[in-house]
């Protein structure tokens, strides 16, 4: 059974720091991995989608990497800003067709000014 773990559960950094959020999964047979952002009481905003054949994706100050063999993904945020404060969730799509996304519990990030 696929399990997704995100460490740390919470992270506080001062503005301007570069930071890395971690996501690990137990079964390396995945279709893709997606990173989301969730603000308090809101829905999820898709940040980056990495297909299983890809190693990384970049969007602005965000860079996500994927190492299927080790069951790991990282989300790198450069030059963090207070507006980046949110919960970041990673989710994997298992390799079996028709199965649902499996989410980690998320990392809650707080960036202070």
Partner 1 sequence: KAGVTQTPRYLIKTRGQQVTLSCSPISGHRSVSWYQQTPGQGLQFLFEYFSETQRNKGNFPGRFSGRQFSNSRSEMNVSTLELGDSALYLCASSLFGLQNTGELFFGEGSRLTVL
Strand pairing report for 72-77 and 102-103: unpaired
Phi first, then psi, for residue 68 (nearest 5°) are: -60, -40
Using alpha carbons, select from 49, 56, 46 the residue that is nearest to residue 88: 46
Instruction: List interacting residues with partner 1 (CB under 8 A).
Output: 31-32, 34, 36, 41-46, 49, 89, 91, 93, 97-106
Task: Choose between 13 and 31: whose C-beta lies nearer to partner 1.
Answer: 31
Closest approach of partner 1 to the CB of residue 10, in Å: 14
Task: Choose between 71 and 104: whose C-beta lies nearer to partner 1.
Answer: 104
């Amino acid at each position: 059974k696929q399990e997704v773990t995100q460490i740390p559960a919470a992270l506080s950094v001062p503005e301007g720091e570069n930071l890395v959020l971690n996501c690990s999964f137990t079964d390396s047979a995945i279709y893709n991995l997606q990173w989301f952002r969730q603000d308090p009481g809101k829905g999820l905003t898709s940040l980056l989608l990495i297909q299983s054949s890809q190693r990384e994706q970049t969007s602005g100050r965000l860079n996500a990497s994927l190492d299927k063999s080790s069951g790991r993904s990282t989300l790198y945020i450069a030059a963090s800003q207070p507006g980046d404060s949110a919960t970041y969730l990673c989710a994997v799509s298992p390799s079996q067709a028709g199965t649902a996304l499996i989410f980690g519990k998320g990392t809650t990030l707080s960036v202070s000014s």
